[in-house]
Structure 1
């Protein structure tokens, strides 16, 4: 009798161990399943969300299929329970275990936003407003009010932010990004102002930003920036009008339809450098670091004119006769290009 009881107990223990082993393997298999993603996906875990609710959220978002063994993960893998709040990026190929590890590590995904050199403040605001991962706080706020919130004395914000790529986490506000871009800009322009070449016809870092914005709009060829800068510096020193088309376009505002006519060049605006002396009153675009450096460190030259070559880049001239020949060559190249 005792022997039979002993055998029965042994059998029960074996069955229990087998059942436990089976359950353990099922839970392990669940963790090793690849989450259902065809492309990268952002997931946000709200503060205070429990581990079980996180699993339910992943099921609700169709990342994996629920299993009766999910509840055992907490007991078998306590290291996967302490998930963090935040916004995270899941990549295709992740297993459920790896996805949970991402949440436990708590390294929030860094989004990026790129503000292109030569873009305008109104374009920045449209870009910020259209980003679903940025918290919107400036809806209906005027440019003057934004300047006040940023602690900027200028009522017009054109050119007062550094054009580059910024990293941010989910929930960063539009104002936060503008503040960083302005701080970065002031850091660059103040450093470059301290090391600028001598005897520039620029009275302040703000005037350097105005010139940098014009350089930014005039050329996309990196190797030309210092030479373009030298043309404008030389003209300022000789009290010649800058006569640069981008300032005309900026002054035309919404009336610009893609073409500049002779009457536009003759129509006075605060920005039309064909009709005003010196620099326009504000920058006409956001400049990058390279254009700011070029404005304060121009090439040493005698050039006073430049015109597009028609094949990329510009042709620079020291006098009007040379410039007129370059213009005729450019027009000839344009006609040639149209025939192709």
Structure 2
């Protein structure tokens, strides 16, 4: 810098004047030198960016190296002795990890959660009891929990419309418990937890083994299984208010179950359930036989389309609703909540018959016998009934 510019600063010339003086001086320099002076800030900025990038990369790289070599206690083998671990509904991965540590399946909770972090499927571990081994490598323990073969808990779904005989047959097949054990448990009524409003002299426990999806543990017996299903039934009917609401339709709570089972077996279209309930109540009020062949079929252990003329005319079958007036002695199947709701809340109407009117199972509801005969003729001509 020239002495003149120094004198400008010393003499108190303001900054703008100094800059103008410097610029004039810079213009007097060769062009190549002026370019070098202008490039220096850009070079400095680029250098700064490069150094910053190197530092960031080094930090992340160092973190990965540290994570890779950190000391997380973990077993290395495939396991030793068999052990069972139960995953409860709502358990987090941390909860599961701690249970595995407590059972000596994995060496540390961190080893298991680290393995789970790298596997998206870990979030889908289902509740139940699993067969594992002690002292397993955490990744192998996770794989075992995710595999189908290690789960000891049996999941069984009982659908609406199944009979008690069908239900216990399915339970026996799913759990491996002999069918005879379930039959013996059914006979042990005092220990099943049947609600007090169910008559003690009912011939079978039809309708009291509630449909639903159940999880059974390896140590469950036929009795404990049926106890849990009856308990589910008791809770369902309590939630539906069956004891309090039955009187409004002129029935006992147990008779409401019979109506619900008839609706469940006969009606597949949701909107028709309350209408079918009204048909039943109108015929009961008139003292007329219900004529529901699904009940007759239950009484002889057949399907509806297997009934013979002799079956339909048999006065010794107490479930033959073509001959025997009133409701059947018991429900004829398990039933869902919607069927109970319909039985407790029948639609308003004068209908006394319903007849299938299409291949999808919908019905025509009619009030006179002449309408019934016409609807039945259409049904038969089309092969719907």
Q: TM-score, normalised by structure 2?
A: 0.59
Write the distance in 2 (CA, Å) between the matches of 1:233 and 1:143. 35
Moved more, 141-150 or 205-214: 141-150
Structure 2 unaligned blocks of 5 or more: 1-67, 86-99, 113-127, 146-150, 195-199
**Cα deviation digits, residues 30-86 of structure 1 (max 9, x gap):** 9899x9xxxxxxxx7248xx99x988xxxxxxxxxxxxxxxxx85xx57559xxxx8
Residue 281 of structure 2 is aligned with which of 226, 229, 233?
Answer: 233
8 A contact 1:138–1:174 mirrored in 2: no
Shift of 1:119: 0.4
Write the distance in 2 (CA, Å) between the matches of 1:331 and 1:78. 68
Shift of 1:138: 5.7
Structure 1 unaligned blocks of 5 or more: 1-23, 36-43, 56-72
8 A contact 2:319–2:328 mirrored in 1: yes
Match runs of 1:98-247 below 5 Å: 98-100=139-141, 111-132=154-175, 139=181, 141-142=183-184, 145-152=187-194, 153=200, 154-190=202-238, 191-194=240-243, 196=245, 199-202=248-251, 204-247=252-295
Write the distance in 2 (CA, Å) between the matches of 1:166 and 1:129. 14
**Cα deviation digits, residues 224-274 of structure 1 (max 9, x gap):** 1111111101111111111100111011126x6942233221111111111
Q: Which residue of 2 aligns with 1:277?
A: 325
Write the distance in 1 (CA, Å) between the matches of 2:326 and 2:156. 34
8 A contact 2:76–2:137 mirrored in 1: yes
SS in 2 for 1:185: helix
Q: Which residue of 2 aligns with 1:317?
A: 366
Residue 45 of structure 1 is aligned with which of 77, 80, 83?
Answer: 83
Root-mean-square deviation (CA), in Å? 4.0
Change (3 A) 1:99 1:195: farther
Shift of 1:99: 4.2
Write the distance in 2 (CA, Å) between the matches of 1:144 and 1:100. 40
Q: Which residue of 1 aligns with 2:138?
A: 97
**Cα deviation digits, residues 297-324 of structure 1 (max 9, x gap):** 1111111001111322111111111111
Q: Which residue of 2 aligns with 1:332?
A: 381
SS in 2 for 1:131: helix
Change (3 A) 1:257 1:318: closer
Pair 1:266-2:337 in alignment: no
Which protein shows a greater Rg? 2
Match runs of 1:64-103 below 5 Å: 74=107, 87-88=129-130, 97-100=138-141
Shift of 1:161: 1.9
SS in 2 for 1:130: helix
8 A contact 1:309–1:330 mirrored in 2: yes
SS in 2 for 1:217: helix
Q: Which residue of 2 aligns with 1:20?
A: none
Shift of 1:100: 2.7
Change (3 A) 1:183 1:308: same
Write the distance in 2 (CA, Å) between the matches of 1:149 and 1:195. 25
Task: Pick 1 or 2: higher relative contact order, CA cutoff 8 A, min separation 6.
Answer: 1
8 A contact 2:193–2:231 mirrored in 1: no
Q: Which residue of 2 aligns with 1:67?
A: none
Aligned residues: 268
8 A contact 1:138–1:175 mirrored in 2: no
Q: TM-score, normalised by structure 1?
A: 0.66
Shift of 1:157: 1.0
8 A contact 2:185–2:223 mirrored in 1: no
SS in 2 for 1:226: helix
